[in-house]
Structure 1
């Protein structure tokens, strides 16, 4: 079981008891506005069960970590990474926070912890992050973690009937902000 700590946060592996939070977060249309159309409960249950399994760097699966406050244990959201490109030493990062936890710096703090841990634990050369062009809050999280905008992918992301432009961000491991 993985546990990471920051001054304010605990990041840990998913437990079976996290299902309600996982479902609420991933099915909320407001939270997922720039991410995806909310998936069915069955689809989310399958995703949850897969992500609750023991993770390894070379599994080709997303590492999903629960973010909680250290002082109260309040559920904040989810963060993690995806290491599909092992030979290229590249990892994709992601995060999704509960609406009442937006604007408190939790996404930035949690993402920095994941990146630092991955740099110390694995030979990651580059981290990649994506967000819809109009998702300014998510772009700001990536930028505060040291990511640089590397390109705009026009009409890359389809959510419902709408095509959205997507920004591609990159962070070289040796450029991260400690």
Structure 2
């Protein structure tokens, strides 16, 4: 099987044909605050990234997957495991749904499928996420997915309005007190 499957989404490896979607997402200044980006990416840089996307998570320390709608068979977003730590069995989780596909459950389903993979296949002990306090949709997404709010990083994110706090979430494979 070359994909991970949920009821409404398929998570699959990035393909060369995803270049334009990746270009549009990575160059949207509206998400730069979430991704830590300060400047646009060229198509060449993103093509080079796609050329290396086949690397194993143990080598690259990251796994980025395309989120496809099963019903409409098209790309709706991206989901990542990043800062993969095979010694401590943990990884960060990032998710980005295109603006026109938000609010349709793709994020929730993709996050569930990714967590099932992280815990079931990679045997991770935990996954974690960091979300700015003003990002209400993402805060709701991670809470609904069973992530626990375990900390606040004060003045962590620089925004056009000033510094913003960031919520730190964790989800464990087994119940941890």
TM over 0.5: yes
**1:99 aligned residue:** 99
For 1:15-164, what aligned pairs fall within 5 Å after superposition? 15-37=15-37, 39-42=39-42, 45-46=44-45, 49-50=48-49, 52-159=52-159, 162-164=162-164
Q: Given the two structures, how large is their TM-score scaled by the length of structure 1? A: 0.87
Moved runs in structure 1, 4+ residues, more than 6 A? none
Distance change (3 Å), C-alpha of 1:2 and 1:132: farther
Q: Distance in 1 between matches of 2:130 and 2:172?
A: 15
Distance change (3 Å), C-alpha of 1:159 and 1:59: farther
Give the count of matched residue pairs: 174
Q: Distance in 1 between matches of 2:11 and 2:152?
A: 31
For structure 1, which runs of at least 5 residues remain unmatched after alignment? none
Q: CA deviation at 1:92?
A: 0.6
Q: Distance in 2 between matches of 1:161 and 1:135?
A: 14
For structure 2, which runs of at least 5 residues remain unmatched after alignment? none
| CA RMSD, Structure 1 to Structure 2 (Å) | 2.2
